[in-house]
Amino acid sequence: MMDDGTIRMFEGFRVQHNIARGPAKGGIRFHPTSRSRRSRRWPSWNDLEVRGRRHPFGGGKGGIKGRSAARCRAPSSKRLTRRYAADLSDLFGPESDVPAPDVKHRRARDGVDRDTYSMHERRTELAVVTGSRSRSGAPPAARRPPASG
């Protein structure tokens, strides 16, 4: 449901490529071209990128298609993100697929997908989304203790 009370349908998707090395890792786009031919190739590009850096991840990419999805105000944006995460919560997880913010990902969506996953799992899981901010708004690096030694 949108802010004005209307009901809209959006097309969401998630594509994974080569999860043999580890969980898929890639962004969630809110963009009108999210379901184009190019967006289906992104996971393989992500896979090559992380392989080149010797990271133990596969490639992944997902999104919600539609001009209105990219332009949603905060309340609708949160509901849309929560519905997307709820529908794909069986796919997400630290061992299977770790999504990240991407194009048109607004501050209102920070942490909503992680919170939704945690609710479905009935436990707090912080490692399910990369790039999420804490409740205080501090970036993840600011919350880590300094390196010892």
Measuring CA to CA, which residue among 15, 22, 94, 93 is closest to residue 51? 22
108-147 as b/e, with b when 16 or more CB fall inside 10 Å? bbbbbbbbbbbeeeeeeeeebbeebbeeeeeeeeeeeeee
Q: Which position among 61, 65, 78, 104 bears the catalytic label?
A: 61
Confirm whether 25 is a catalytic residue. Answer: no
Q: What share of the chain is helix, strand, coil (3-state, %, to 5)?
A: 35, 20, 45
Question: Which sequence positions are flagged as catalytic?
Answer: 61
